Chain A
Amino acid sequence: DAKTTQPNSMESNEEEPVHLPCNHSTISGTDYIHWYRQLPSQGPEYVIHGLTSNVNNRMASLAIAEDRKSSTLILHRATLRDAAVYYCILHHTSGTYKYIFGTGTRLKVLA
């Protein structure tokens, strides 16, 4: 199965943009890229997902490289409530339908 790699941790100042990178060099053409985040003592919650084109929603933006071997989650204005572990996930839709989590990036937001 294709996997993702992420930096272990990142820091950002409050109200500044945050760019969280993810590498998925072995991604297949039918794999979706998902991002979830996990707050302490909670299950992961959905942030955004995409296949080839960049995506925007009320929470974030997802920028996908043209070769799809990397992607970046963009939080436009970080708040203290955005402090969490962010997971880049590959959603396999060909063969066995499943979601494989990356190692995650712990985001710290500084006031």
Chain B
Amino acid sequence: SAVISQKPSRDICQRGTSLTIQCQVDSQVTMMFWYRQQPGQSLTLIATANQGSEATYESGFVIDKFPISRPNLTFSTLTVSNMSPEDSSIYLCSVAGVGANVLTFGAGSRLTVL
């Protein structure tokens, strides 16, 4: 299965600033997903990022707040814009393996907004 590296692993940010999270995969993958995990909660899908097309956002998430780039088949970024304390969460990148339908996750980026 693919190996995913996320950066940063954790960060503390000030209200009103923006942070970009990077997701690097060791193999080419078509489908990449970004999830948010609020403290003590399950994972919520933010968007699906496919190379060569605009990201598809889930209800409650908008591009202005969570812009996503997918420049090639091994890399993606998620930006959390104009942050507030409510954005304090773990953000996880995941990819779907071709044919096997199995998701592989990165370790996540823990974001704390003060």
Contacts and interface: CB of A to CB of B under 8 A. Distances in A.
Contacts of B58: 98
B44 interface: yes
A96 B9 CA distance: 29
Interface residues of B, number: 23
Contacts of A41: 107
Given A43-B94, A44-B43, A102-B42, A49 B105 contact: no
Contacts of B56: 96
B102 A43 contact: no
B62 interface: no
B92 A43 contact: yes
A45 B106 CA distance: 10
A100 B105 contact: no
Interface of B: 1, 4, 31, 33, 35, 42-45, 48, 56, 58, 92, 94, 96, 101-108
16 contacts: A32-B101, A42-B107, A43-B94, A44-B105, A45-B105, A46-B1, A46-B103, A46-B104, A49-B101, A93-B101, A96-B48, A96-B56, A98-B33, A101-B43, A101-B45, A102-B42
Interface of A: 32, 34, 36, 41-46, 49, 87, 91, 93, 96-104
